[in-house]
Amino acid sequence: MTPRRSGRVHPLERVYATALLLLPPRVRREDGDAIRETLRDQLADAPDDRRTALALLAISRFPGAALRHWKDELAPGSGASRRPPHRTGRDGMDGFLRNLAYVARSLRRAPTFTLATIALVGLGAGTVTTVYTIVDDVLLRGLPYPESDRLVYLTNGSHNGPTMERLDEVEAFEFWTATSTSSVNLTRIDGEPLRLRRTEVTPDFFTIFGARPALGRLLIEADEGNPGIAVATWPAWQEVWGGREDLVGSTVRLDGEPVEIVGILSREFVHPEMVLGDPTHLFRPIDWDEAGLANPGYHAHRIVARLAEGASIATGDAQMDRVAADVAAAFPDYYTEGPQDWPLQTLHERTVEDARDGLLLLLGAVALLMLVACTNVAHLFMARGLTRGREMAIRRAIGAGRRHILAQLTFEALAIGVAGGAFGLLLAGGALRLFSAWTVELPRGTTISLDFGVLGVSILLATGTAVLFGLFPALRTIGNDPQERLRTGGAGAGTSRALNALRGGLVVAEVALSLVLVTTAGLLMRSFAAVTAQDPGVEAEGVYLVPLNLAGIDTPDTYRRRMEALRQSVREIPGVVAATYGVEAPFEFVGGDACCMASGWRPEGQPEATPIRVRSHADGPEYFETFRTELVAGRHWTSAEAGATPHPAIISERLAIQAFGSAEAAVGRTLELRGGMTIVGVAEPTLHYGLDQPHDFATWSPIEMLPFPIGRTVISLRTGPGSGPIGSAIREAIWAVEPDLPVPTVSTLEAWIDRSSSTRRLGSTLFGAFGMIALALAAAGLYGTLLYAVGERRRELGIRLALGAGRGRIQGQVVRRGLTQAGLGIAAGLGIAWFVGRLLEAWLFEIPATDPLSLASSAALLLATAAVAAWLPALRAGRTDPLETLKAE
Amino acid sequence: MDPADHLPLAPRDLLILAALAEGPSHGYGLIKAVEIRSESGVLLDPANLYRVLRRMREMGWIEEAEGGGDRRRVHRITPQGRALLAAELGRLERLLGQARPALADGGR
């Protein structure tokens, strides 16, 4: 019987395969593969709905099997020479087996302890593994392209025509490619038009990104300038054309034009998101626009290059600088401020830069959490060890060897470690699956798979902690005379000065670590609050945005004409009070390196000054009415002025102050930018690219200044108070003018603004959650320690109460002891938090890393928690019945 | 080796030996065979199975054989294992013979 093999590996088979690492090395070497194969056969042969159950059964039985394998391995003279099964002995096999059974029994008798420690180990190991796996995958692993360490990206946005003409002169580049992505509308016989993303590339794109065709061919040099062909990606082939066999060689209609699909990329091709953004569906040969190539203002393409062997970023930079200088010399009117700077950046760096700090921060946070969890495991094991003094003494008295007792305690810790590890593995597996389903925020999220190394390390750490702290009390007591221990009831006064000091130390450490997490959470939350409290310079309520993509725009005039017709149409919807359009809209693009027309500007007569990056917006009528951006000086341009040259402009207050000293001084002056602008007004500060971005250096001009044809656009409209949902009315208004135009989304400006700070919200939520968990763990640790201490001193407390000591006084003592430990922890934690805050600085917004309010409030929070955690054991101490305790003697 | 030293056999060991007595098998084949024979009463998992197999190999009851077409490892029973199986089955039959009359007479 040969079970059929399925190509995919069941995820739990991986789990099982990892667990095999726990087998004795000899067994793993000799039988490991066979064991795994057997499970795979078993799963392959099982019906779909039984597979997971079968795998779970195998996994649940594995710890027992592994222990038995170890037992076999360690047994003196294993194998055929084994003693017959019924002989009893104090050592060896049967001792081992009995030990095992004993461990199982004693753990089952203490379900709270067992579950709590397993959960702690699992939580700690699971979170650390999840986060480390993500961080490792995103930050450390190389990009999935050939010679990926030699791939570089030209920063500072898109590149102009004349520069691209000279890129071949850069000897440091082995290959380079220019890409530009835009949307096209696919005409379908059976349904509405579909909006696809199409990227135009030079043929070396495929060499640089190691693409291979699955069917047909890729684009070659001879295809350049031929817009009538395209290569589809594998996902597009599957999703858009349903994997149709005959797609290659067939003709589809894009924006109404026939395009032949000549090939399909292989499934393995990884979309270079860091360059192209969202997945693209089609690649077509670049179609150089001769006029564009001659125009320094033609910015449409992103450039990626592969450095030649031996070439460095520095040589590449130096050669690019020469090109930039040549171009600037050739177009002195355009480059009035000197050559543009385009530093190279490795593609890897570009891929991870946005996510790196956040991920490292997160990794730090879970590492702290893991430490807190370990501390609690230590607590629990010590507490258990201490309360079992009597039990151990009995076992010693009836002849159990020291070695036995230690072995048993070790086994207990190991069993917890293995079970906790399995739990952690499940957690991490689940978390990563969730994460993969939700990869919007991070680059390369889709390729993540579990990092077993880290899982192993974190389980070892937790188990090691458990063994250490489980054995410690035993080692302390084991040398004592067992009879003495029995007489004193197992918890004599001498047990434990050192142990109590150690437990106190653990509490202090826990409180300190929790304080760090809570403070960090506080800082991030305050930052998030500060960000959301920013005035964006637009009034978001009631504003709707409709991103569109017009096909067949060949001149700026066609764009204006068609957009104006659309604008008029939506403007007439009842309830709409203003409508405008532009190439992009506020908060559509988020971050410092975002979109659109930007140029360097230096104050007049200061050629040495660092240029200021000014963003220019060209907008249709009613822009300022739609977004309610107020003017602080000057006026709006009139419609008569709109087409004039130099263009009229409203500039941002920040730019006005930088360039002319004040808003008032700017009005009527000329700004030497984009061929000169006449300043008619100055706008209040705006945050076009995100609430946490600095105020813009920006100019707004009439749409008439738009220098190039472009298909992408956003219609923005403001509704009056009390208007209801308007989405379908907007669509109808658009279709009344352009019946075939896809309208993929109608968003609100509020949603876009919200989205612009989603990473911060995520960060503060995660840290808030971690902080709360740490706080709860610290409280549990403190509570447990004090409760134990009270229990230990029952006799003493009873006597004191009998002698007339006040209950309040005794309670006060317990609380004081708890607060002293918490206080020490808080002091230590403040020191660490101070240091950690400095690492956080890049992440904070208008909140200093040493923000006294955050530090003080987290200290207060911890102190209050500690007071509650200490109060409960104190109540118990106060309730001690003197008679009861003394009778018990 | 006197087979009697190792009797009685655990039901699981008995079923594995019985399955191998019919012909060599790989790991999953054994799991399946044992499951069918025991009418799902005995469910083996791979790690425990290979521990039993290892022990039986060391005792000399079974040995590894060249696999069929693929690379999978296959076990087969040794003459010694066959003798052990026969001894155990004989013992069980004797036991049954002694116990059954009780039920045949008074059980109805």
DSSP secondary structure string, A426-492?
Answer: HHHHHHHHHHHT--SSSTTGGG----HHHHHHHHHHHHHHHHHHHHHHHHHHHTS-HHHHHHTTT--
Is pLDDT at B95 greater than 50 in this prediction? Answer: yes
Cα–Cα distance list, A28 to A19, B52, B59 (Å): 11, 15, 20
Q: A389, A488 in Cβ contact below 8 A?
A: no
Cβ atoms within 10 Å of A695's Cβ, excluding its own: 16
Alpha helices by DSSP H, listed for A75-141, are 92-109, 111-135
Asked if A883 and A779 sit in the same domain, the reply is: yes
Nearest-10 crossing angle of helices B27-37, A25-45: 60
Higher pLDDT, A12 or A177: A177
Q: Nearest-CA neighbor of A316 among A174, A126, A522?
A: A174
Q: Which H helix or E strand runs over A554? A: none
Taking CA–CA distances from B28, the nearest residue in chain A reads A38
Is A151 strand, coil or helix? strand
> Which of A25, A53, A75 is the last residue in one of the domains?
A75
CB contact under 8 A, A38 and B50: yes
Asked if A199 and A261 sit in the same domain, the reply is: yes
Is pLDDT at A589 greater than 50 in this prediction? Answer: yes
- Specify if A347 maps to a domain: no
For CA atoms A79, A83, A87, A90, give the dihedral sign.
negative
pLDDT of residue A652: 93
Interatomic CA distance for residues A29 and A427, integer angstroms: 29
Asked if A555 and A595 sit in the same domain, the reply is: yes
CB contacts of A75 in chain B (<8 Å) are: none
Query: Chain-wide mean pLDDT for chain A?
Result: 81
pLDDT of residue A77: 53
- Specify if A348 maps to a domain: no
For CA atoms A330, A333, A335, A336, give the dihedral sign.
positive
Is pLDDT at A629 greater than 90 in this prediction? Answer: yes
Interatomic CA distance for residues A529 and A547, integer angstroms: 29
Say whether residue B105 is in contact with chain A using an 8 A CB cutoff: no
Phi and psi angles of residue A230, each rounded to the nearest 5 degrees, phi first? -155, 155
Confidence of residue A440 (pLDDT cuts 50, 70, 90): very low
Is A637 strand, coil or helix? coil
Question: Domain ranges in chain B?
Answer: 8-106
Partner residues linked to A649 by β-bridges: A679
Pick from B49, B50, B60: CB nearest A80: B60
Cα–Cα distance list, A222 to A162, A218, A254, A286 (Å): 22, 11, 22, 11
Partner residues linked to A716 by β-bridges: A545, A580
Structure tokens at A365: 């946070």
Choose from A733-747, B54-68, B75-89 the range with maximum mean pLDDT: B75-89
For CA atoms A397, A402, A406, A411, give the dihedral sign.
negative
User: How many folded domains does chain A comprise?
Assistant: 5
Pick from A20, A37, A65: CB nearest B27: A37
Higher pLDDT, A86 or A8: A8
Residue type, A36: R
Place of tokens 């009879």: A483
Interatomic CA distance for residues A516 and A837, integer angstroms: 9
pLDDT tens-digit profile of A210-244? 888 999 999 988 888 888 999 999 989 988 888 88
Asked if A597 and A706 sit in the same domain, the reply is: yes
CB contacts of B28 in chain A (<8 Å) are: 3, 37-38, 41-42, 45
pLDDT tens-digit profile of A247-268? 999 999 888 889 999 999 988 8
CB contact under 8 A, B46 and A1: no
Asked if A266 and A406 sit in the same domain, the reply is: no
Examine residue A285 and say whether the peptide bond preceding it is cis (omega within 30 degrees of 0): no
pLDDT of residue A437: 63
Least Cα separation, residue A90 to chain B (angstroms): 22
Pick from B28, B32, B50: CB nearest A31: B50
Q: A114, A108 in Cβ contact below 8 A?
A: yes
Asked if A800 and A882 sit in the same domain, the reply is: yes
Say whether residue B100 is in contact with chain A using an 8 A CB cutoff: no
Asked if A720 and A688 sit in the same domain, the reply is: yes
Taking CA–CA distances from B60, the nearest residue in chain A reads A80
* CA A880 distance to own-chain centroid: 51
Top residue of B48, B75, B78, B84 to mutate, by most chain A CBs within 10 Å, is B48
pLDDT tens-digit profile of B6-53? 778 888 888 899 999 998 888 888 888 888 887 766 778 898 899 999
Place of tokens 């082939």: A237
Is pLDDT at A296 greater than 80 in this prediction? Answer: no
Pick from B5, B28, B51: CB nearest A42: B28
- Specify if A408 maps to a domain: yes
Lowest-confidence pick of A47-51, A211-215, A281-285:
A47-51
Is pLDDT at A173 greater than 70 in this prediction? Answer: yes
How confident is the model over A283-293, as a mean pLDDT?
A: 78
- Specify if A503 maps to a domain: yes
pLDDT of residue A481: 52
Asked if A326 and A293 sit in the same domain, the reply is: yes
- Domain boundaries B8-106, corresponding CATH code: 1.10.10.10
Least Cα separation, residue B93 to chain A (angstroms): 23
Partner residues linked to A285 by β-bridges: A201
Interatomic CA distance for residues A178 and A156, integer angstroms: 14
CB contacts of B51 in chain A (<8 Å) are: 27, 65, 68-69, 72
Asked if A92 and A221 sit in the same domain, the reply is: no
Pick from B28, B32, B58: CB nearest A79: B58
Model's pTM, two decimal places? 0.61
Is A715 strand, coil or helix? strand
The percentage of residues in chain A with a pLDDT greater than 90, rounded to a whole number, is 16
Asked if A135 and A218 sit in the same domain, the reply is: no
How confident is the model over A650-674, as a mean pLDDT?
A: 89
- Specify if A639 maps to a domain: yes
Say whether residue B65 is in contact with chain A using an 8 A CB cutoff: no
Higher pLDDT, A214 or A125: A214
pLDDT tens-digit profile of A89-100? 444 555 566 666
CB contact under 8 A, A79 and B47: no
Q: Which domain holds residue A716?
A: 551-740
CB contact under 8 A, B72 and A61: no
Say whether residue B27 is in contact with chain A using an 8 A CB cutoff: yes
CB contact under 8 A, A34 and B27: yes
CB contact under 8 A, B27 and A61: no
Least Cα separation, residue B46 to chain A (angstroms): 5
Least Cα separation, residue B103 to chain A (angstroms): 31
pLDDT tens-digit profile of A308-366? 988 888 998 888 888 888 888 887 777 766 677 778 888 888 877 766 777 777 788 88
Interatomic CA distance for residues B7 and B21, integer angstroms: 18
Asked if A577 and A600 sit in the same domain, the reply is: yes
Asked if A464 and A336 sit in the same domain, the reply is: no
pLDDT of residue A889: 53
Phi and psi angles of residue A76, each rounded to the nearest 5 degrees, phi first? -60, 130
Cβ atoms within 10 Å of A570's Cβ, excluding its own: 24
Residues 6+ away with beta carbon under 8 Å from A520: A365, A767, A771, A833, A836, A837, A840
